[in-house]
Structure 1
Amino acid sequence: MANKRDLKKDINYVLGDIIEEVYVWELDNPKKDNKKGEAIIDEAIKSFDELIERVNDRSIENPSKHFKAIRKDLEKTAQTLVDKVNAL
């Protein structure tokens, strides 16, 4: 199922880019406290695990609706994390 594969890739790329951006911020600001950045990374990893678990759920009745809801949650989570990275 291409839709499931594409969704998994999107989750990986989006959250991976956010984690990478935190690492770049930490390299650019070595004297600042990294605890906030580490918390963002932990939240991104937790979100990744939760979203992938939902994608792999086989007990769904309407796959199209289910995957659309996951994409919407990914967008919302990504926007929240990006806002936190921008606030560092």
Structure 2
Amino acid sequence: MASVKNLKKDINYVIGDIIEAVYLYEMTTTGRPTEATNGIIEEAIVTFDGLIKKVNDKKVENRKAHLKQVNKDLENAANQLVEKINVL
């Protein structure tokens, strides 16, 4: 892990790209939000908030291992959100 700053950027970019993909789906299909797309966007925002909160938690014993786990959590959450987009 290079730095906390880079991890925060990665979280922002990945979640932002997922939300953008949902918006693109909306534009190319219905032209407006649906309950399913709103649910995915809401889940992405909650995931973003949770990951940033974990990164900012300085009361962990092993900070390096904690940040590596946050990176893994980001990857897992992103994969799950992308799968939900693909189901649409």
Alignment of 1:18-57 (within 5 A): 18-30=18-30, 34-57=34-57
CA distance in structure 1 between the aligned counterparts of 2:31 and 2:56, rounded to whole angstroms: 41
CA offset at residue 32 of structure 1?
7.6
2:61 maps to what in 1? 61
What TM-score do you get using the length of structure 2 for normalisation?
0.93
Query: Alignment identity in percent?
Result: 49
Structure 2: runs of 5 or more not aligned: none
Distance change >3 Å, CA 21–CA 31, structure 1 → 2: closer
CA offset at residue 42 of structure 1?
0.1
1:12 maps to what in 2? 12
Displacement over 2 Å in runs of 4+: none
1:83 maps to what in 2? 83
CA distance in structure 2 between the aligned counterparts of 1:42 and 1:70, rounded to whole angstroms: 20
What TM-score do you get using the length of structure 1 for normalisation?
0.93
Matched positions, count: 87
CA distance in structure 2 between the aligned counterparts of 1:31 and 1:9, rounded to whole angstroms: 30
RMSD: 1.4
CA distance in structure 2 between the aligned counterparts of 1:81 and 1:64, rounded to whole angstroms: 26
